Amino acid sequence: MADFLDSEFEARFTSAQTAMAASGMDAILLCTEAEIRYFSGFRTQFWQSPTRPWFLVLPRSGAPIAVIPEIGAELMARTWVCDIRTWAAPNPTDDGVSLLADVLSPYSKVGLPMGEEASLRMPLRDFYRVQEKSGVEFLDCSNLIKAIRMIKSDAEIALLRKICKIGSDAFDNAADIFHAGLPLSEAFRAFKIELLQQGADDVPYLVGAAGQGGYGDVISPPNDMPLQDGDVLMLDTGASLQGYFCDFDRNFAIGHATDTTKQAYGRLWQATEIGLQTAYAGARCADLFNAMHAELGGGPSDVGRYGHGLGIQLTEYPSIAVFDETVLQPGMVMTLEPSMTISEGKMMVHEENILITDNEPVLLTKRAAPELPIIS
**Least Å from the CB of residue 259 to a second copy:** 26
Q: For a second copy, how many residues bind (rule: CB under 8 A)?
A: 72
**Longest CA–CA separation in the chain, Å:** 68
Nearest approach in angstroms of CB 299 to a second copy is: 14
Answer for which of 91, 143, 153, 270 binds a second copy (CB under 8 A) is 91
| C-beta of 71 vs 174, nearer to a second copy | 71
Instruction: Output 204 or 373, the one with its CB closest to a second copy.
Output: 204
Does residue 71 belong to the site contacting a second copy (CB under 8 A)? yes
Q: How far is the CB of 188 from a second copy (least distance, A)?
A: 8
Q: Which of 40, 261, 319, 353: binder of a second copy (CB under 8 A)? A: 319
Residue 49 makes contact with a second copy by CB under 8 A: yes
| Phi, psi values for residue 309, rounded to 5° | -70, 165
Task: Provide the minimum distance between the beta carbon of 177 and a second copy in the complex, in angstroms, as a whole number.
Answer: 13
Min dist. Cβ of residue 134 to a second copy (A): 16
Tally of CA atoms within 13 A in the half-sphere of 74 that contains its CB:
1
Long-range CB contacts (within 8 A, 24+) of 11-14: 11/153, 12/38, 12/39, 12/148, 13/39, 13/58, 13/64
Distance separating alpha carbons of residues 251 and 205, to the nearest angstrom: 17
Stretch touching a second copy by CB under 8 A, among 89-97, 151-159, 226-234, 249-257: 89-97
Whose Cβ is closer to a second copy: residue 91's or residue 212's?
91
Using CB under 8 A as the binding rule, the residues of this chain from 270 to 299 that contact a second copy are none
Q: Report 7-46 residues binding a second copy (CB under 8 A).
A: 34, 43-46
Q: Which residue from 4, 15, 75, 357 is in contact with a second copy, where contact means CB under 8 A?
A: 75
Q: What letter would DSSP give residue 113?
A: -
Contact between 238 and a second copy by CB under 8 A: the answer reads yes
Query: How many other C-beta atoms can be found within 10 angstroms of the C-beta atom of residue 82?
Result: 11
**318: cis peptide before it, omega within 30°?**
yes
> Cβ of 212: how many Cβ atoms within 10 Å?
15
Partners of 290 in beta bridges: none
**Which of residues 27, 67, 89, 184 is near a second copy by CB under 8 A?**
89
Q: Least distance to a second copy from the beta carbon of 234, Å?
A: 14
CA neighbours closer than 13 Å in the CB half-sphere of residue 100: 29
Subset of residues 93 to 152 that bind a second copy, contact rule: CB under 8 A: 93, 95, 112, 114-125, 127, 140, 142
Q: How far is it, in rounded angstroms, from Cα 127 to Cα 112? A: 11
Asked if 313 interacts with a second copy (CB under 8 A), we say: yes
Q: How far apart are the two ends of the chain, measured CA to CA in Å?
A: 44
Closest C-alpha among 332, 302, 303 to residue 317 = 332
If one asks whether residue 341 binds a second copy (CB under 8 A), the answer comes out as: no
Question: Do residues 207 and 192 lie in contact, with contact meaning Cβ atoms separated by under 8 Å?
Answer: no
Rounded to a whole number of angstroms, the minimum distance from the CB of residue 268 to a second copy is 17
Q: Is 308 in the site for a second copy (CB under 8 A)?
A: yes
> Which residue lies nearer to a second copy by CB, 166 or 276?
166
- CB-based contacts of 281: which residues, under 8 Å, 6+ apart? 327, 328, 329, 330, 356, 357, 358
DSSP type of residue 367: P
**Footprint of a second copy on residues 202-221 (CB under 8 A)?**
202-207, 216-221
Q: Could you count the other beta carbons within 10 Å of the beta carbon of residue 46? A: 15
Local structure of 250: helix, strand or coil: strand
> Minimum distance from CB of 19 to a second copy (Å)?
18
